């Protein structure tokens, strides 16, 4: 009934753009008991909270809020009631434009009005970014920011000190933005217990700090430093890191150097997109560093994407990924998902395909494909006994290994049975709808109440016998 998302909560409380309509609905909240009110206000937008103030104070016109008079302390009485229940606060120009009220609100906001706030999602940029400070508190553990200006980023330096318990941090930005390295560095070095960090770019010194942070479990980077010096493997770097995601602004040489730091890092998921079209030699060196730096037993998901928008297809034969490079990845024996994409093709031979199938017996999803040319070889789905999803660029039916088919005959039989059930579902749904219509039109049983929605899916079936 209740939604923890700001969109769902906004629907329950009415549109923030209609302050008068919202004011009429807010009185209905008294009809809810405390658990319902907590669910209703657990996640809220700042605009909806401000709409709880007197109607002669705030007005919303064309999704922009403005004040009709100066704020008095008594104006916050109703907002205090609901503000103490908010755990996640959302604010940004995508909800209601607050630029006109921010100067007054930031000065008049009562202390500890949001005393239970745990997550702050601040999507304001440029001049409005600075008004984040009245909403910061020591108990906040999650903060998601949108910022594209250097002046806004300069305010990040002290943010980590005002929120010392931050565990989930995300700073959105474009790879084309020129960031203030000093402010980002001070911000990152101020994070002492962060578990998840998503940030557009970092310097080498910041990565050195993070690799020794024992709490860090997830790291997402838009790019890597352009000046990235190679270092010998460090003692237990990223010892708790489980997910590493490097965006499409990363040079392949920088990725290779970063992996060169690593020593048996227990990643479970590694995702990288190279910024430029990499040569087979560069890919081979990166895969070699990958095999040397990550734990062979922990990795479950691997995604390696090599593409570039401006590509000369006449040189495709020079950029084919080699089979010996793929073989470097066979050391990761517990992989369940693999994605390898090459802009100009991947060269497979039959021996490599067989080795991949033997090395990855737990494979559930694989995608090995090129974008502009036909793949040189294929991976038959029959080779992967646990595969639930496999994609490549061509299918050659009738070439499955007979021994493999015999070995997994029972699993294949179950799969075929469910495929038969899947074909029956439309017929069964039609029969059920027909029965429903018949029952509704029957005068003898018109007292039966049938649900308005009736859904049917394969999981509703119970096979027996």
Contacts of 121 (CB under 8 A, 6+ apart): 88, 89, 90, 91, 92, 143, 144
- Mean pLDDT, 10 residues at a time, the chain of 465 residues: 43 39 44 76 93 93 93 94 94 90 94 94 88 92 80 74 92 59 75 92 87 93 79 80 86 88 92 83 92 95 77 60 89 92 74 84 72 36 45 44 66 71 72 72 44 36 33
pLDDT of residue 291: 95
Q: Rounded to an integer, what is the distance from CA 139 to the centroid of its chain?
A: 24
CATH of 88-103+119-406, one of 3.30.70, 3.80.10, 3.40.50, 1.10.8: 3.80.10
Pairing status of strand 88-91 against strand 64-67? unpaired
Q: How many Cβ atoms are within 10 Å of 103's Cβ, its own excluded? A: 11
What pTM did the predictor assign? Answer: 0.72
**CB-hemisphere CA count at 13 Å for 194?**
28
For the chain, what is the HEC assignment?
Answer: CCCCCHHHHHHHHCCCCCHHHHHHHHHHHHHCCHHHHHHHHCEEEHHHHHCCCCCCCEEEECCEEEECCCCCHHHHHHHHHHHCCCCEEEECCCCCECCCCHHHHHHHCCCCCCCCCCEEEECCCHHHHHHHHHHCCCCCCEEEEECCCHHHHHHHHHHHHHCCCCCEEEEECCCCCCCCHHHHHHHHHCCCCCCEEEECCCCHHHHHHHHCCCCCCEEEECCCCCCCCCCCCCCCCCCCCCEEEEEEEECHHHHHHHHHHCCCECCCEEEEEECCCCCHHHHHHHHHHHHHHECCCCCCEEEEEECCCCCCHHHHHHHCECHHHHHHHHHCCCCCEEEEEECCCEECCHHHHHHHHHHCCCCCEEEEEECCCCCECCCCHHHCCCCCEEECCCCCCCCCCHHHHHHCHHHHHHHHHHHHHHHHHHHHHHHHHHHHHHHHHCHHHCCCCCCCCCCCCHHHCCCCC
The answer to whether the beta carbons of residues 332 and 302 sit under 8 Å apart is yes
pLDDT of residue 127: 85
pLDDT of residue 383: 45
pLDDT of residue 401: 59
Tokens of 14: 């009415």
C-alpha to C-alpha distance for 150 and 91, rounded to whole angstroms: 20
The answer to whether the beta carbons of residues 294 and 271 sit under 8 Å apart is no
pLDDT of residue 225: 81
The full set of domain ranges for the chain reads 1-87+104-117, 88-103+119-406, 410-460
């Amino acid at each position: 009934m209740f939604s923890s998302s700001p969109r769902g909560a906004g629907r329950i409380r009415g549109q923030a753009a209609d302050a008068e309509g919202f004011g009429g609905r807010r009185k209905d909240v008294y009809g809810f008991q405390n658990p319902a009110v907590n669910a209703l206000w657990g996640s809220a937008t700042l605009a909806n909270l401000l709409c709880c103030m007197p109607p002669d104070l705030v007005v919303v016109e064309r999704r922009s809020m403005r004040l009709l008079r100066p704020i008095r302390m008594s104006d916050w009485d109703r907002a205090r009631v609901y503000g103490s229940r908010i755990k996640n606060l959302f604010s940004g120009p995508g909800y209601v434009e607050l630029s006109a009220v921010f100067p007054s609100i930031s000065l008049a906001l009562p202390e500890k009005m949001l005393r239970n706030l745990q997550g702050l999602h601040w999507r304001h940029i440029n001049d409005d970014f600075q008004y984040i400070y009245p909403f910061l508190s020591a108990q906040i553990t999650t903060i998601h920011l949108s910022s594209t200006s250097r002046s806004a980023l300069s305010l990040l330096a002290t943010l980590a000190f005002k929120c010392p318990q931050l565990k989930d941090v995300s700073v959105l930005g474009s790879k084309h933005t020129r960031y203030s390295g000093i402010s980002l560095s001070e911000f990152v070095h101020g994070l002492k217990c962060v578990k998840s960090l998503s940030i557009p770019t970092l310097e080498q010194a910041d990565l050195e700090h993070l690799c020794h942070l024992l709490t860090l479990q997830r790291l997402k980077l838009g790019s890597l430093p352009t000046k990235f010096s190679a270092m010998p493997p460090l003692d237990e770097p990223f010892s708790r890191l489980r997910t590493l995601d490097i965006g499409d602004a990363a040079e392949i040489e920088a990725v290779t150097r970063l992996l060169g730091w690593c020593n048996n890092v227990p990643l479970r998921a590694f995702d990288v997109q190279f910024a430029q079209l990499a040569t087979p030699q560069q890919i081979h060196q990166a895969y070699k560093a990958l095999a040397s730096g990550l734990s062979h037993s922990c990795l479950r998901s691997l995604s390696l994407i090599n593409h570039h928008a401006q590509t000369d297809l006449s040189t495709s034969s020079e950029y084919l990924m080699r089979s010996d490079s793929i073989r470097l990845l066979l050391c990761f024996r517990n992989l369940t998902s693999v994605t390898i994409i090459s802009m100009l093709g991947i060269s497979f031979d039959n021996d490599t395909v067989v080795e991949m199938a033997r090395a990855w017996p737990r494979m559930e999803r694989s995608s090995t494909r090129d974008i502009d040319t036909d793949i040189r070889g294929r991976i038959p789905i029959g080779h992967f006994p646990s595969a639930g999803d496999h994609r490549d660029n061509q299918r050659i039916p009738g070439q499955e290994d007979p021994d493999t088919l015999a070995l997994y005959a029972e699993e294949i039989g179950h799969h075929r049975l469910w495929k038969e059930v899947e074909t029956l579902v439309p017929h069964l749904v039609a029969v059920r709808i027909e029965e429903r219509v018949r029952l509704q039109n029957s005068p003898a049983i018109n007292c039966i109440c049938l649900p308005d929605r009736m859904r049917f899916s394969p999981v509703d079936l119970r096979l027996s016998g």
